Structure 1
Amino acid sequence: MIRDSDMKQQGHNLLQGFSSEALVAKEMQRLGYTILGRNIRIMKGELDIVCRNEREMVIVEVRSLEDGTIEDCIEGVTRRKVRLVRRTAELFLMDKPVDYEEVRFFLACVIWRGAEPQITIIEDAF
């Protein structure tokens, strides 16, 4: 049986996740990237954010923590998750024109501590 408190927590986690992705997308735009898509689902995988600039295509995995450290965020990305994101990116890019020099994978950690969430973007995370 699903308890009311469990459903509220799931709703809170979803809202926090969507908010985190929106904040990271805004930050990537501020850094000069164009957002091509968010929450792109292909088979069993999902790409949180796909963006690009003139030279590169960037796949951003967004991790959100209510409290914790950057290390906690990094440790939360398992080898299985890395393989799944890379495979999903391959499938996504298969039918895209190759007008970029490289594909990079970033990890964005959003830690919701205090009034302002802390956003850290780790380039070439995997």
Structure 2
Amino acid sequence: MRRSAPASARTGSAGEDAAAELLGRMGWTILARNWRSRHLELDIVAEERGVLVFVEVKTRAHGSLQSPHEALTPVKQERLVRAAQAWLDTHRAWERPCRFDLVCVTSRQGTYHTELIRNVIEYGDQSPRHALGRGDSSWQPW
């Protein structure tokens, strides 16, 4: 007997669909969805006007105790950076400008509200070369 996915997985998948739809309406090109490398995952890899965008999608039900943007913890940010490293290595794209965005999705009775937050991971004084482990610091905006 085949089991259906848990409600949280279905909600997350629907949230990712809503996020991809939002980005498509904005004219972005979706390069990959649910890209995996071993234990690392990127929800969406997109391109906006020549910039690679690693998009994390966080979906929560309306009225949840934690908002979608609060779910992007420092630990999750580190995993996203490692996943981006793997993607850049796999696609030999270290010279491409890139950034990390977050799409917050709130679900309520089968409808989804989406909000894009750009540049959610910044390294301040830490150079991208140190943060990502490769390349020259001039190629990355964060």
TM-score (norm 2): 0.74
CA apart distance, 1:96:
2.1
Whether the 8 Å contact between 2:88 and 2:94 is mirrored in structure 1 is no
Structure 2 counterparts to residues 1-126 of structure 1, below 5 A = 11-68=6-63, 72-98=67-93, 101-114=96-109, 116-126=111-121
Output the amino acid matched with 2:97: E
TM-score (norm 1): 0.82
Distance 1:117 1:100, change over 3 A: farther
What SS is found at the alignment partner of 2:102? strand
Distance in 2 (alpha carbons) for counterparts of 1:41 and 1:12: 22
Runs of 4+ displaced beyond 3 Å: 97-101
Gap runs ≥5 in structure 1: 1-6
What SS is found at the alignment partner of 1:82? helix
Q: Which has the higher helix share?
A: 1
- Alpha-carbon RMSD across the aligned residues, in angstroms, is 2.2
* Identity across matched positions, percent: 29
